[in-house]
Chains A and B, each alone.
Chain A
């Protein structure tokens, strides 16, 4: 028993070697920027994942590319431009506003305006209807009949 404990104790220092995550970037500020940038960029291999999430080999390469460029002192804009130059606007999860994306950016606003107009029209119509209940002479006559108790449809 003692021997086993001694053996375990002797092995203790080695335990410290395993399971320790290797930091991908020494400088925490750089690391934060790299993560933020890679979250904004779409991985072209698995298109519904960002470069930060994807484990595709291309995403790994692009993450390394981002880190290298940060280390080389490039600004965030320069790095994004680098990606757009190579992969097009498609890599941006936040597409730029231009002629092909006008509908994309303006669509929700357009739908909101259409919805507001339809709502306003419906409300006005309803108020109009409630204010002036249109009763025909026939309706008046039937009401009269019911009130005086002479209704024929009474069972």
Chain B
């Protein structure tokens, strides 16, 4: 009897491990930035390149940093949600235009709507690297003290918005 029970037990453990492994998403790499200060940047604004914008300008507010590009197809999927957030004045959204051409970016915003309080340009992707960006779009929720509290990797979905992002924003805005 033992002869069969032991291999069967080993097999069951293996299956359990593999089953858990299958449900994990390898694309969702935990961000090392959670509960850490948002990396500093000083970038030219998309619409007024002469003006510089820094993450410090948002201190005291809960805000979203959305990394996007006009060449990014998934950005179009999440865009209506951002437009909705901006329309309802839920939270200020700063758009970081990542490795894009300014003219393309501006045309894209004209076409699909501009939800951003301020847009900044990161033409060579340096600030993207500082934020650990690897798959556009990505969205960071940043609290009043300037700490990153949540990172959405990939497009914002209705599920992520209602399940995580909005409750977190409301909670952070209360404090």
> B29–A86 contact, CB under 8 A?
no
| Closest B residue, CB atoms, query A91 | B29
Task: For chain B, residues 74 to 107, give those with C-beta under 8 angstroms from any C-beta of chain A.
Answer: 99
User: What mask results when residues 71 to 104 of chain A are scored 1 for a CB within 8 Å of chain B, else 0?
Assistant: 0000000000000111111100000000000000
Task: For chain B, residues 13 to 53, give those with C-beta under 8 angstroms from any C-beta of chain A.
Answer: 26-27, 29-32
Given contacts A57-B99, A61-B125, contact A87 B132 (CB under 8 A): yes
The 8 lowest CB-CB distance pairs between A and B, nearest first, are A44-B134, A86-B132, A88-B32, A90-B29, A87-B132, A61-B125, A58-B134, A45-B134
| Closest A residue, CB atoms, query B135 | A45
A44 to chain B, nearest CB (A): 4
Chain A CB within 10 Å — which of B26, B124, B129 has the most?
Answer: B129
Known: A47-B27, A57-B99. 5 other contacts (CB 8 A): A61-B124, A85-B32, A87-B29, A87-B32, A88-B29
Please measure, in the bound complex, the distance between the C-alpha atom of A90 and the C-alpha atom of B132, giving whole angstroms: 12
Interface residues on B, range: 10 to 19
Number of A-B contacts (CB under 8 A): 35
> A86–B130 contact, CB under 8 A?
yes
Q: Is A62 an interface residue (CB 8 A)?
A: yes
Q: Which residues of B contact A47 (CB under 8 A)?
A: 26-27
Q: Is A40 an interface residue (CB 8 A)?
A: no
Please measure, in the bound complex, the distance between the C-alpha atom of A58 and the C-alpha atom of B129, giving whole angstroms: 8
Q: Which residues of B contact A90 (CB under 8 A)?
A: 29-30
Residue of B129, B132, B134 touching A65 (CB-CB under 8 A): B129
Q: Which residues of A contact B131 (CB under 8 A)?
A: 86
> B135–A86 contact, CB under 8 A?
no
Q: Which residues of A contact B135 (CB under 8 A)?
A: 44-45
Please measure, in the bound complex, the distance between the C-alpha atom of A89 and the C-alpha atom of B130, giving whole angstroms: 15
Between-chain CB contacts (< 8 Å), 25 pairs: A44-B134, A45-B134, A45-B135, A47-B26, A47-B27, A57-B99, A57-B125, A58-B134, A61-B125, A62-B129, A65-B129, A84-B32, A85-B32, A86-B32, A86-B129, A86-B131, A87-B29, A87-B32, A87-B132, A88-B29, A88-B30, A88-B31, A88-B32, A88-B132, A90-B30
